[in-house]
Structure formats: structure tokens, C-alpha cells
Structure 1
Amino acid sequence: MKDWIEHFREAAEGLVVADVWRGYGSALFIEFGKLTPADGTRKDGTPGAPSGAIGLMIEADWRIEDAHAIVCGSSSDEELWEPTFARLVGKHVVDVATFGRLPEVLISLSDRFHVASFSTLEGDPGWSLFDRRGAAPITVGCWSGVITEEQVNSA
């Protein structure tokens, strides 16, 4: 069995946070490394978000910490989100790790910033890591308590 967290730790270490954006609801996306423009547009006609070489998606429950406190999280007033996202851009990845019996993801950044998932809903923790560097992208997440590569159906 491949150690996927070690794979992403090695792939992301030193990469810069290139973009942080909000998906549907409180979903959080962080793009690391060189950005590639999106293919296509959103339903409202605006361009889609660019993709980094490595990406993180946290579905619902997340928080952003600095050295001393939680700066904001998925339950914070939304007006705190964009200014906090902007503070992450340009930071470098120091570490990628997991914590907890059901693995949650923790990204440690330069200047002692951290981004953590912490699902409070039934089911699996709601996060995925993306490695888009190769011809066949790799997506991993936690399913049934195990960090696993998502299998893409080719139909």
C-alpha cells in the first residue's frame, strides 16, 4: 500500500500557495505551485478557477490558524474568509500531515500558518488532495477511515 500522505508531503513541500478560493457553500480550495487556467466557464459565465500542480479541497469543515489562534473557519462570518485567504497566498508548504483516528488533513505553511480539516458530519472526513503534475492526475482522500486513491471510472 502506497503512503499517499508521504507522496503529497514530498510533492508539495516548498510549493507556494498560488490561489485560495471558495467552492459551493463553505468548500475551500487551495492551489499550490504553478497555476493552469481552467478549462471552460462556470454556470454564470465567469472563468473557472485555475488549478495548481497540487491542490487541496475541504468540503465543509475547516479552519485556518496562525501561530496563536484560529484566524477563521468554515463557521466564521464569511466576510473574514477573503482577507484570510489573501494572507495565505505566497506562503510556502512546510508539511502535509494527517491527524486523528479518522484521518483529517493538516497543511503547515510558512510564517506558522496552518490549514486543517475537521469534519463534524457523519461519514468520512471531507477532504481530497490532488496531484496534477502527471498525465494521469492522482486524487486521494479518506474513505472508510483509510487514506485511499480515488479510482476514476473510464467509461
Structure 2
Amino acid sequence: MKNAIADFAAAARGMPVSHVWRGHGSALFVELGNLTPRTRRDGSPGEPQGEMGLMIGWSWRIEEERSILCGSWSDEDLWAPSFAKLLGQNVDKLTTFARLPEVMISLSGDLHISSFMTSEGDPAWALFDMRGPAPITLCCRSGQITEE
């Protein structure tokens, strides 16, 4: 699956962060590239979806050059201004790290978004590629990167 991460990283390089939003609980969604509007089942507007994206279910952090701006356990008042700093930044690098694969996106402006699971089970992240005829999702299952 290293090739899948390398392919995803190559495709994401240079894409701008177009939208950042909070899902259920502390779930973080980072949408990259052109946005497509979405509609919820009840007909109300949903969050727009990027060409590619990252979801971290929980245990995430956003870093600057020398400090952590905020994380999933931070005061929620810090989230919106930190999310705003990400908008318009371009993807410089996407990598996995650690024995049980965590994910990090490094952005222009020396900003970084990383997963960092602190509970039992697998790291709770997924990468999405919506550009083709069928969506591609990469995630960590049983300690391995898998494609769903």
C-alpha cells in the first residue's frame, strides 16, 4: 500500500485547502481542490466536497512551525481560527509515519495537519480521492494501510 500513499501524495501535491469543517464530535475534514456542492438527505445544503480530502475521526492536531495551534482536545474556540489559517494553503507533502500508520499533510505557510490516535484500536483517519469514476479511500485497518 506504500504505492497507494505515494500515488495519493503525488496527486495531492500543490492542491489548495478549499474547505475545512468539523464533523460529528471532533471529526476533522479537510477538502482539497475544486469543491462540489452536496445536499443532505433532508434536502438541506451539506458541506461541499473536494476533489481529494482527509478525514481524521479524532486525535488530530494542527501545527505551526514551532507550536501546536490546536487539536481535537483543545478548547473548541481555537478551532475556527486555526481552520481559517489552513484555507488557501497548498499541499507540499503527504506522508504516513509511525509503526501503526498515522497521516500528516504538510502545507505551504509551514502548517501541518496530523492524526495522532491516543486510544485503543486503529488510527482513525481516511484519505479520499473523488476525481475518478469511483471514489478511492485509504485508511488504516488492523495496523495496515488499506484501500476501501
Runs of 4 or more, structure 1, over 6 Å off, are: none
Write the distance in 2 (CA, Å) between the matches of 1:83 and 1:89.
Answer: 10
User: Does residue 55 of structure 1 match 2:53?
Assistant: yes
TM-score in terms of structure 2 length: 0.96
RMSD: 1.3
Count of matched residue pairs: 148
Which letter maps to 1:37? P
Counterpart among 92, 96, 99 of residue 97 in structure 2? 99
Which consecutive residues of structure 2, in runs of 5 or more, have no partner in the other structure? Answer: none
TM-score in terms of structure 1 length: 0.92
Write the distance in 1 (CA, Å) between the matches of 2:144 and 2:137.
Answer: 14
Give the drift of 1:46: 4.1
Residue identity over aligned pairs, in percent, reads 59
Give the drift of 1:2: 6.0
The match for 1:41 is 40
Write the distance in 2 (CA, Å) between the matches of 1:42 and 1:56.
Answer: 22
Write the distance in 2 (CA, Å) between the matches of 1:83 and 1:46.
Answer: 26
Give the drift of 1:137: 0.6
The match for 1:89 is 87
Which consecutive residues of structure 1, in runs of 5 or more, have no partner in the other structure? Answer: 151-155
User: Does residue 111 of structure 1 match 2:109?
Assistant: yes
**Kept after mapping to 2: 8 A contact 1:42/1:48:** no
